Amino acid sequence: MDYNRIDSISRSQHPNKQLTDVQYGTAGFRAKSDLLDHVLYRMGILTVLRSKQKNATIGLMITASHNEEPDNGVKLVDPAGEMLDSSWELIATELANIPDSELVNALKKIIKDENINEDSPSSVIIGRDTRESGWSLSRAAIDGINAADGIIQDFGIITTPQLHYLVVCSNTNGSYGEPTVEGYLLKLVNALLSIKKAKNNDLYVGEIYLDAANGVGAIAAKEFQEILHDNLSIRIFNDGNGPLNHKCGADYVKVQQCPPINSPGKSLTRCVSIDGDADRVIYYYLDDSDKFHLLDGDRIATLIASYLKELVEESELKIQLGLVQTAYANGASTTYISEFLKIPVVCTETGVKHLHHKALEFDVGVYFEANGHGTVVVKDSVLKMIRTASQNMNLPKKCRTASSKLTSLIDVVNQTVGDALSDMLLVEAILYVRGWDIVTWERSYTDLPNRQLKVKVQDRNVIETTDAARKCVSPSGLQSKIDELVARYSKGRAFVRASGTEDIVRVYAECDSSSEVEKFAAEVALAVHQLAGGIGPEPII
């Protein structure tokens, strides 16, 4: 590598102005966009090194997902489509924050420590969401990749899950799919159509209203609509003509527990909200009395897992199915999964990077965060077994048909990462085969009333947790205060953790009383404010 070139471009075009340090968080770096130019240049170089090390294509996505427009960020994607390995997060953080004068030595050290052959080829796929700052940040990343002599494929404005898909396709010689956006759209739509072709269902209403958070998902949803024709009418609102993620999008609807701005007022209409980079999805509707009902990631997970379980049982194949959640999962959903569906369920830390790895331990792993981020992963050997069974004429017809349905269902899934639009098509496929409307779907269990709050503190890093964020170990005294509050509420459960995407501490509380849950959450938020260095006004109880 030409270190002089890397150094001179760094100092002259992408200097680290040392305004503030950035941290690799839950899903990469995320900060105000004007702090990120040098970070993107350096991440461009880092992806080239990672690509050389793995001898595979690496992905770089410029997005701040659910955050509002002034923020931006970068997610790095490893060869199999998963988030950058945690062992490299520290490397990325150090590289992002060192002074310009230390950049070259830091790169040489990474190459030595990580045993990277500088002469290996490298290839990086980049993409960005619709944020205005995305274009110049992508130039910074491209400068970094070019400076390190990497080969770039720039897909411009695409969704995060599309980028993950493209990385996997490039690294699997197209066996996962064609490495183009058209290939992605056609793969998912064809799988959905094959499910619909196998069965007629007049009970299903093929119309949904989609809140696209004014983000890149609106573009992808329009592209889907063009090839779905009347198989599914996607009526898009918040389609890019308003501010990104402002009073709309999956995060807003989930946390505020209310419809987004511009939502159709018609009752019993199936509505969907996705986030700014289209990797999260939730459903909602208004009932006859205009009461808001939320069907979040837990509900999507249970719908998918229960249908998969039905098909696995019918197929008579030996497949171990499992479900992965986080502490944010509603207690009622966990009880339903373990006691009614009888599917093993495990809890991990927040962040798809944690859930994805845990889900890979099952033959078929369904993972979903309550906020709507999730997917299904299937072991290659298991997928092969299912495909073979679907064509094995020695098996009873019922088993063959179930295997064939499993194959089509798995094809609707973007297994590389949580994908709002693929998940939406998957939900629609299951509602179609079951002939369910949204009310029937919701009937499976009743959520415990719950509330999420955000608390601003001087330094969110003072909050340290353990046990998948269910116990707070610092600052001292906070967990015992939470325990004391929890004990006052029937079916009470609460926890706090530092967000890895926003400069806040998150508070979650649930109990069996909808009239008390607000107070419960506010009491926990007040404890955080008082014991963890809260700034601004104290939460009102």
* Contact pick of 254, 280, 357, 405 for ligand G16 (by CB under 6 A): 280
Q: Does 65 interact with ligand G16 (rule: CB under 6 A)?
A: yes
End-to-end distance of the chain based on CA atoms, in angstroms?
Answer: 59
**Taking a C-beta distance cutoff of 8 angstroms, is the pair 345, 367 a contact?**
no
For ligand G16, give the closer residue by CB, 72 or 407. Answer: 72
Taking CB under 6 A as the rule, does residue 350 contact ligand G16?
yes
Q: What are 332's two structure tokens?
A: 């009622």
**Identity of the residue, 81 or 150, whose beta carbon is nearer to ligand G16 in the bound complex:** 81
Among 506, 517, 527, 528, binds ligand G16 (CB under 6 A): 506
Q: How far is the CB of 276 from ligand G16 (least distance, A)?
A: 8
Answer whether 451's CB lies under 8 Å from 501's CB: no
Is residue 14 involved in binding ligand G16 (CB under 6 A)?
A: no
- Residue 369 contacts ligand G16 per CB under 6 A: yes
65 catalytic per annotation = yes
Restricted to residues 453-472, the positions that interact with ligand G16 (CB under 6 A) are: none
Cis peptide preceding 475, ω within 30 of 0: yes
Among 450, 501, 507, 526, contact with ligand G16 (rule: CB under 6 A): 501
71 near ligand G16, judged by CB under 6 A: no
Beta carbon of residue 245, minimum distance to ligand G16 (angstroms, whole number): 10
Q: Does 143 bind ligand G16 (CB under 6 A)?
A: no
Whose Cβ is closer to ligand G16: residue 351's or residue 534's? 351
Considering the candidates 10, 51, 65, 306, report the single residue annotated as catalytic. 65
Can you read off the two tokens belonging to residue 385?
Answer: 């077994």
3-state class (DSSP) for residue 20 = coil
| Secondary structure of 226-295 in HEC code, one letter for each residue | HHHHHHCEEEEECCCCCCCCCCCCHHHHHHHCCCCCCCCCCCCCCEEEECCCCCCEEEEEECCCCCEEEE
The Cα–Cα gap between 91 and 440 comes to 48
Half-sphere exposure of 375 (CA within 13 A, CB side): 30
- 72 bridge partner residues: 31
Q: Which of 264, 475, 500, 533 binds ligand G16 (CB under 6 A)?
A: 500
Burial 194-203 (b: 16+ CB within 10 A, else e): bbbeeeeeee
Taking the complex as a whole, the smallest distance from the CB of residue 357 to ligand G16 amounts, in Å, to 12
- Note whether 82 binds ligand G16 by CB under 6 A: no
Report, in Å, the least distance between residue 17 CB and ligand G16.
26
Nearer to ligand G16, 177 or 276 (CB): 276
- Stretch (H or E) spanning 152: strand 151-157
419/257 Cα distance (integer angstroms): 22
**Rounded least distance, CB 102 to ligand G16, Å:** 29
| Residue in 1, 9, 22, 27 binding ligand G16, rule: CB under 6 A | 27
404 touching ligand G16, by CB under 6 A: no
Number of helices and strands (H, E) in the chain? 18, 19
Residues that bind ligand G16 (CB under 6 A): 26-27, 65-66, 275, 279-280, 350-352, 369, 371, 373, 499-502, 506
User: Which positions are catalytic?
Assistant: 65
